Structures are given as C-alpha cells and as structure tokens.
DNA sequence: TTCCTCTTCCCCCGATTGCGGTATTTCATC
DNA sequence: GATGAAATACCGCAATCGGGGGAAGAGGAA
C-alpha cells in the first residue's frame, strides 16, 4: 500500500518537530514537509503534492482557515485536517466553510492523530464527539428546509423568480431573457399569485427562505 | 456514578434482544425499556424518563425521524442516538434536523455502541468518520456565510431592513415602527447606500444571503 | 376537435419606489 | 460649547410596480 503523504503546517517548533517525527517514523505515512507558516503554501504543495495537509488554525501571518481556502481552490483533492487548541463555534464554522474535512484538538494522542490522518485520507471526517456536537447544532440552526410546499411554478416562472432574487428589475429581466417587458410582468403576476404574495420583496424573501429557486 | 438510562426502539426482534442484553448487562448502563415500535412513545418515555434514546430510523408505523421530533419537543433534554443500516444524505439530514445528536450504523461493534451511548450522554455527537463527512459536506453546501463585510448599519436601519426582508412596504414599516413614512424612506435610502444596492429586492436578497438581519 | 396550460404580448391607472435635495432634534463625545 | 452621528421629517419628480383587464399562438391531453 502506498504511504499517505502528509504536509504539516504548525508554527510551534516543539509540536512541529514532535509531529514530524511521529509521521515520518510511522510505516504507512510519509512527511512531504513541515512548515512554520503559510508564506509559500502553494509553492510548497506544488513541489510535492501531499494527500493530507495537517493545518494549525492559529498561525502567524495567514490564518489557517484562509490557507485552507487557497489549498482547496488550487488542489481540491487534497484533504485538510485542522488542528487547534480552541473549539469555539467560530473556528469550527470557518474551517468547515473553508473546506476542511476534519477538525481535531491538539490534546489528541499520537495514535489518534495518525488515525485521524488515515480517516481523512479515506474520505472520512474525523472529529471529536464534542466538536461533532457543535457541528450538528450549528447545522440544525443554519439549514433551511427546501420547499415543503410545491407552488407549481412553471419553468419560465422559476427563471424569472431566480432573476428577481438576484435583484434584477422587470426591465432587466426582460432584457436578459430576451422577452418583452409585458411578458415578464405577466410571469411576475402569476408568481405572486402562486406564492400568495403581493410584492417583489415578499416574493424574493419567500423564494430564498424556502429555497424555491 | 449514576447508570445511564437507555430506552431502545428497534423493530428487529433479534437486534432488539441483543442490544437489550448488551445494555442491561453492562455496568454503568440501565435499560428502561425496549420497544418494537413508537406507538406509545411518549407514554413509555413518561413512565421512566431515559437519558438516552437509541432509535432505529427504519420502523413500521411512525418513522424514526418523526419520533425524534416528538421526543425533542416534549423531552428536549433526552439525547437521541440514531441507528440505521443506511447512510444516505436524506436520512442523515432528516435526523439532524429532527434533533438527533448522534448517528451510528448497525454494523457498529457492541463496544462502540456502548461508547456512542456514553458519548451522547456526555454531550457529544458520535458518528462514523464517513457520516461526519456527509454532515460536513451538507453543511458546507447549505450554510451561508454571515456578513464578512460590516456595512455599519445603525440599529434603526437594521430594524427597517429586517422589516423589508419580511416583505413589508415602506408604509407598513412606518406604521409598525411608529415613525413617519418619510423617515422610513430616509432610512431605506441610507441602507441602499451602505449596502451598495439600488432597489428593494437587491437589498432583501443581500441581507438574507449575508445574514445581515 | 376541443380543452387546457404555458408562453407570449398589450393597455390603463393608481400606488409605490428611487433619487435628488434640505432641515431639525437628540445625544454622546471631545 | 462644539462636533458629529443618528434619528426624525418634508418636498418634488421621474420611473417602476401592482392589479385589473384582454388576447393570441403553440402544444399536449381528453
């Protein structure tokens, strides 16, 4: 089996060296590099593309979450495992939105570190039960339920509605869709009637809330 | 230490009995009941309130996710651990939205079952790395980033904007806020200027997307 | 063929909005 | 006491929107 190639970003010298020894010294793992900051992030990844990046959230210069965004933009197949001493909502939230797959604490044991690296590499998202709880709870708060109702909008009406959501005026929609102003107005009237609203803001708000478009 | 009280809902007789023996036979765990369906769900919970409910998603009669909603509505402090053979997005999504804390597969080993029960009871959300990945990925798709920008809206402007998002017209906002029509118009103008938009739908759309209100 | 839906287009008219101003009062800060 | 931000309020005017009609072609279903 091919060894899992790991790149390490960690500003703390002691931890960086400990992890380096752990990773390079364990069969099945290969360290492609250990860096104290993200200054030459993309260059370093290009040099030898790792399977997994182990990223500290708190670092001098570029924040870990910013670095993740860059990585996922240029190397979407690279799996990123965040490590941190904090487990506040903001950090978890930012990391996940940036594209990180796993999120572990620095208090994690060496064996669990390796296990977590293996997990992300195999397509999992290792995280402590506590962090998982935060994610689940953030999730339940943020997710909106897509359209329980079916408002029976026709394809053209959906198209018009989605342009309305983008903030376009009737005139702009007419231009964009290459149909006449009056036709757009007719569609809009029908949309209002089907959504049971009577102005543009209500329609936009309802469309976004219920993810109709 | 107090034993963790567990109620079990599982229609498969064999699995139900195996889990019953496992739970009641392990020190630190106490089985308050094992039921093949959710017909008398609330009655059964009332009889002896468990700390943790182990719920099968696939059951005759009431679906597991529906049952979870009922449980969390009447007994919000009860922790629910879902168990299933499926790990599709829809089931995961429904369970989390219903209020379940953990989500494990029936292929989980007895020791891990007990560990997961312990985890949910201690405020964690045990889930396999694969399921965690699905949650993270669903999350990243659904969550919108709350205002990276700070548009410096004043409290009154935020109030007006939130009423606009609710679909209210300027006249309605004036009535609701008990200020004059012209004042609301002034606020709206300032909001447009700060958000860099120039019509009501754009403002509403931006406000919702960036969770400004 | 007839019926129905979807899409297209048009008119009228009152209400509302967007944009340009100006102006006063309050209130905290300097 | 001066300054500035926030909230309040008003006017005018062009443009857009919302609601009310009517109408006609294309295409599928009964």
Residue A213 has pLDDT above 70, yes or no: no
- Pick A99's closest partner by Cβ from B97, B140, B199: B140
| A25 burial type by CB count under 10 A (0-12 exposed, 13-18 middle, 19+ buried) | exposed
What pLDDT is attached to residue B143? 63
Q: Quick check: pTM over 0.85?
A: no
Is B67:B45 a contact under the CB 8 Å cutoff? Answer: no
- Residue A160 CA: distances (Å) to CA of A154, A156, A177, A179: 10, 6, 8, 11
Across chain B, mean pLDDT equals 88
The half-sphere exposure of B86 on its side-chain side, counting CA atoms within 13 A, is 13
Residue B147 has pLDDT above 70, yes or no: no
Across chain A, mean pLDDT equals 88
Could you tell me where the DSSP H helices lie in A37-154?
A: 41-47, 64-74, 89-98, 110-121, 129-142
Mind listing the domains of chain A with CATH numbers? 4-137 (3.40.50.2300), 143-209 (1.10.10.10)
pLDDT in tens, B173-204: 999 889 999 999 999 999 999 999 999 999 99
- Strand C: positions under 7 A of a protein C-beta atom: 5-11, 16-23
- Residue B156 CA: distances (Å) to CA of B41, B68, B205: 47, 40, 19
A122 touches chain B (CB under 8 A): yes
What pLDDT is attached to residue A160? 93
DSSP percent split of chain B into helix, strand, coil, nearest 5:
50, 15, 35
Subset of residues 143-182 in chain A with CB less than 7 angstroms from any atom in strand D: 169-171
Residue B205 has pLDDT above 80, yes or no: yes
What pLDDT is attached to residue A147? 52
Least confident of A86-100, A113-127, A177-191: A86-100
What pLDDT is attached to residue B138? 77
- Pick B140's closest partner by Cβ from A97, A169, A208: A97
Least confident of A116-120, A144-148, A149-153, B40-44: A144-148
| Chain A closest-CA separation from residue B116 CA (Å) | 9
Least confident of A40-49, A85-94, B68-77: A85-94
- Residue B179 CA: distances (Å) to CA of A61, B160, B185: 48, 11, 10
Residue B90 has pLDDT above 90, yes or no: no
> Residues at the strand C interface (CB under 7 A)?
A 152, 154-157, 177, 179-183, 185-187, 190, 199; B 169-171, 185-186, 188-189, 192, 198-200
Confidence of residue A211 (pLDDT cuts 50, 70, 90): confident
The closest of A89, A136, A135, A93 to B82, measured between CA atoms, is A136
Mutation site, B94, B204, B207, B213, interface A, largest A CB count within 10 A: B204
B86 touches chain A (CB under 8 A): no
Please indicate whether, in this complex, the C-beta atoms of B124 and A139 are within 8 angstroms of each other: no
- Alpha-carbon distance of B160 to B179, in angstroms, equals 11
- Strand D: positions under 7 A of a protein C-beta atom: 5-11, 16-23
What pLDDT is attached to residue A145? 59
A191 touches chain B (CB under 8 A): no
Interface of A with B in 35-64 (CB under 8 A): none
Confidence of residue B87 (pLDDT cuts 50, 70, 90): confident
Find the mean pLDDT for residues B81-92: 84
Mutation site, B201, B206, B207, B210, interface A, largest A CB count within 10 A: B201
More confident residue, B77 or A138: B77
B101 touches chain A (CB under 8 A): yes
* Residue A181, nucleotide of least CA–C1' distance: C9
Find the mean pLDDT for residues B152-178: 91
- Chain A residues whose beta carbon lies within 8 Å of the beta carbon of residue B209: 208
């Amino acid at each position: 089996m091919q060894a899992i190639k790991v790149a390490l970003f960690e500003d703390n010298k002691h931890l960086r060296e400990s992890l380096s020894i752990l990773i390079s010294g364990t069969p099945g793992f290969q360290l492609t590099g250990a860096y104290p900051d993200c200054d030459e992030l993309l260059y370093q990844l290009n040099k030898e593309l790792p399977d997994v990046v182990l990223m500290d959230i708190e670092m001098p210069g570029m924040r870990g979450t910013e670095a993740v965004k860059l990585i996922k933009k240029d190397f979407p197949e690279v799996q990123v495992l965040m490590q941190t001493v904090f487990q506040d909502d903001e950090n978890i939230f930012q990391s996940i939105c940036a594209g990180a797959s796993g999120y572990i604490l620095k208090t994690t044991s060496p064996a669990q570190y390796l296990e977590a690296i293996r997990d992300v590499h195999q397509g999992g998202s290792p995280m402590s039960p506590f962090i998982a709880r935060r994610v689940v709870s953030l999730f339940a708060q943020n997710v909106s339920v897509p359209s329980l109702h079916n408002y029976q909008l026709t394809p053209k009406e959906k198209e018009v509605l989605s342009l309305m959501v983008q903030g376009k005026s009737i005139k702009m929609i007419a231009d964009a869709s290459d149909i006449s102003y009056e036709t757009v107005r007719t569609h809009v009237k029908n949309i209002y009637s089907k959504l049971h609203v009577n102005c543009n803001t209500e329609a936009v708000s309802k469309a976004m809330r219920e993810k109709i478009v």
